[in-house]
Structure 1
Amino acid sequence: MRLYLDFEKPVADIYGKIRELKSVSEPDGSVDLTSEIAKLEAKAESTLEGLYSKLTPWHKTQIARHPDRPHFADYRDALFTDFANLAGDRYFAEDFAIQAGLARFNGESVAVIGQEKGNDTESRLKHNFGMARPEGYRKAVRIMELADRFSIPIISLVDTAGAYPGIGAEERGQAEAIARSIEMCLKVRVPIITVVIGEGGSGGAIAIATANRVYMLEHAIYSVISPEAGASILWRDSTKAQDVATAMKMTADDLKELGVIDEIIPEPAGGAQRHPETVVSATGKMISSALEELSGMEGDALRRQRREKFLAIGRNLT
C-alpha cells in the first residue's frame, strides 16, 4: 500500500475508488469496468499534478521526510559500482548513520559519503534515523583525507534531520567533530559534489556538504534547524512549525534564489517516492556533469572556489 501524505488525501480517495472497482471487476469480462477505472486513474494523475503545482514549504517538508523516498542506499546501489564500505573512525566506534567508502562512478574512482536513515524499524534503529554521532563525522573526515591523498573526487548525499543530540554524543565532542568535518571539506584539493536528497538539517548536513557544487532535489529541504525545533524555540509551541517552515526559506527554490545551492534536480509529480528510478537517474546525470566541469581545475583553485562560495553566501542580500 502506498503511503499518502495529509495533503494528498484527494488522490488517496480516488485510488480507493479504483481499488473498489478493481475488486468487483471480473476477469472473464462479465463485469468490465476498464473504462471507468481508466477515467479515475487519469483523474488521480491530474489531481496529483494540481496538488504538486502549489506546494507550500510545509508540504515539501513532509515530502522530504516521506519514508518511501529513496535513501542513500538506493542511490549507492543504482549509481555506483564496486562500492567498498570503510567502517569506523579509528578513535571510538563505527557509526551506521553515515555510510562512506570508495566506489566507481562511470568507471572512475570516487569517494562516497552519505547519511542513511533506513527503510524499516530495524534498519532505522541501526542507522539511528540518519542522525550521526561524532564517530560518524570523524569517519567522514578519514574518508575525505584518503580521497585527498589519492586525488579522488568526493560525492556526498545528504539526508538527515541533524546530528544526534544525545548526551553520549555531546560527551564525545559532537560540535568539534562537525567543525573538523567542515574544515576538512574546505581543506581538500579534490572536487566535492553534494546532493541534498531529503532533509538537510543544520550542522549535521553541512558537515559533509561544504562542497564545490551543492544540488538539491526539488522537494528536499535544507535549513539551520527543523521547523518543529524552531517553533519550540521562538514560541515554545511546535504546532507553529508550518509558519517557521515558510519563514526559514528552506525549499530548493528559496535556496537557489539566495545562492546557497547551485542547481535544482526536478522531481515528477508525486515526488521522488513515486518514481525513484527517474530521480536517481537525474541525480546521476547532474553529478556526472559537475565532475566533468570540475575535473580540469587545479587543487588550489578547487579549494579557493569552495571557500569563496561559502563566504559569499548572504553578502548580497538586502
Structure 2
Amino acid sequence: MTHTVSEITDLRVYPIKSCRGISVKSAKLTRQGLELDRRWMFIDSKNKFVTIRSKPQMTLINTSIDYDSDSLVITIGHDPDKQVKVPIHPDQAWLDANTKEVTVDIWEYITDGYAYNDPKIQSLFSEFFGEEVGFVMKGPDPRICSGNGDPKRLGRQETVNFPDVLPIQIASESSLAELNSRLKEKGESPITIERFRPNIIIKGGEPWSEDSWKTVRINGDSSLFTTLTGGNRGALDIDVVARCARCTVPNVNPDTAEKNAHQPWDLLVSYRRVDEGIKYKPCFGMLCCPRNEGHVEIGMRFEVMDETQNHMYIKGF
C-alpha cells in the first residue's frame, strides 16, 4: 500500500445539476453529499433531466447563496436582470403555493421533485434554453444508489439527490497536473479542475494513485496514539466505491461554454481507459459514499486508509 496523506485544497458545491458551481471554504458533508449539492435540476417537456451533455450553455448559469434571505440565487451570465431566487429551506406551505409535485426521469430512475410554477422562472429559463424547460427541487422520496453503490454491494443503503451516480466525487490536483503536462506537450492550454465537477479536491500524492483508494478519512489520522486515545471521533470516513468514468463534458470550457472538439477527451482516452468495467471511457476522479456526517473545510487532513486492486465500474441508474 502506498500510504497517502494529503489535504483538502478546495470544496465545490453544484446546487443545480450541470450549472456553474460554488467554491466554498467549508461545508457540511452529509450521507447524500455536500449540503445543497445537485439539489436542483432542469427538466425538459417530458420531465427528463437536462444536462451540459446536450446543452453546453448551462455552464453560463451561475449560482450563489444569499445567506441573509436563505436563498439560492440563480443568474444567467452576470446579468442582474436575468436573476431569480428560490428559498433553500422552504416550508410545506410555501411549496404548496409555489410548486407542484412531479415525477422526473434521471437516467431512467423515476423520482420525485417540486416543479416551480413562478412565471418569471419559467419564461427566463425557457428563453435561455430555447425550448420549454422546468426547474425542480428534489422531493423527499429517497433515490437509492445503485451500481457500485447498490446496498447489496455497499453493505448499506445510501441515497442521493440529482448527481449522476453517487454522492461525492473526489479529485486529485496531482493527477490534473499530470494531465495538463500532457496537454502542454500537445500545444494545448491547461484546464482547471472545475471541468471535472468534483466536490472535494486534494493536493494528492502520486498522480493517479487514487485509482486504488478503498477507504479515505478526513480530519483524522491512523497513528497509534490517536487510535489509543480515541481522537478520531470527529473524523469522517468515506468509502471509495468506483472510478468516475468520463464522457465529453470536460471538453466544455466553463467560462465560455465552448466545447473543444477533441481535448481533453482524446488524450484521456489514449491512456486513462483503466477500468475493466467500462472499457471505452476514460476515468478521472473517484466516486464515494460517506459513512458519517460532519463539517469539512479547506486545509483538513486527508488520509488513505485502505486500498484495493479490485475496482470495477458497474453501471447504475
TM-score when scaled to structure 1?
0.25
Identify, as 1 or 2, the structure richer in helix.
1
- The answer to which structure, 1 or 2, has the higher relative contact order (CA under 8 A, 6+ apart) is 2
TM-score when scaled to structure 2?
0.25
Identify, as 1 or 2, the structure richer in strand.
2
